[in-house]
Amino acid sequence: MLPPTTPALLRDDARPYFLWWTDATVADLRARLRDQDPQARAYWMGALLREANSRDVWLFTTPDEIRARWPDLQRHLGRSRSMWAYLLDLPALPWPPPGASRVE
């Protein structure tokens, strides 16, 4: 496994570069990835997968966790959705999902 892009990601008090829009620390992210609300967990895992360098992702999650949360997670991935589907051999689901309503 490659080392993190910055050793700061190993410190709980550090602010991860990939959470640029919030003041969350590494400890905050870890707590949010364990949130009891599955939608909250999916949001923060999606932010991690969408914004972080892929080598830093593995400091916070595993391929099995991503696979288990894929149905809730994919909506938060934006343009990185197809990359993660390919990398983890997950179904490339259409977006938006069939039957989703559009806001006019």
Q: What is the pLDDT of residue 2?
A: 85
Residue 64 CB contacts under 8 Å (≥ 6 apart), including other chains: none
Cβ-defined contacts of 26-35 (< 8 Å, 24+): 29/60, 30/60, 33/60, 33/61
Kindly give the confidence (pLDDT) of every residue in the chain, 104 residues in length, as a single tens digit, with 9 standing for 90 and above: 789 999 999 999 999 999 999 999 999 999 999 999 999 999 999 999 999 999 999 999 999 999 999 989 988 998 899 899 999 999 877 766 666 655 55
Query: What single-letter DSSP state applies at residue 10?
Result: G
Does residue 29 lie within any of the structural domains? yes
Residue-range definition of the domain harbouring residue 55? 12-87
Report the number of distinct structural domains present in the chain. 1
Q: What is the pLDDT of residue 78?
A: 87
Does residue 80 lie within any of the structural domains? yes
Pseudo-torsion of CA 62, 30, 74, 19, nearest 10°?
-120
Does residue 3 lie within any of the structural domains? no
Does residue 45 lie within any of the structural domains? yes
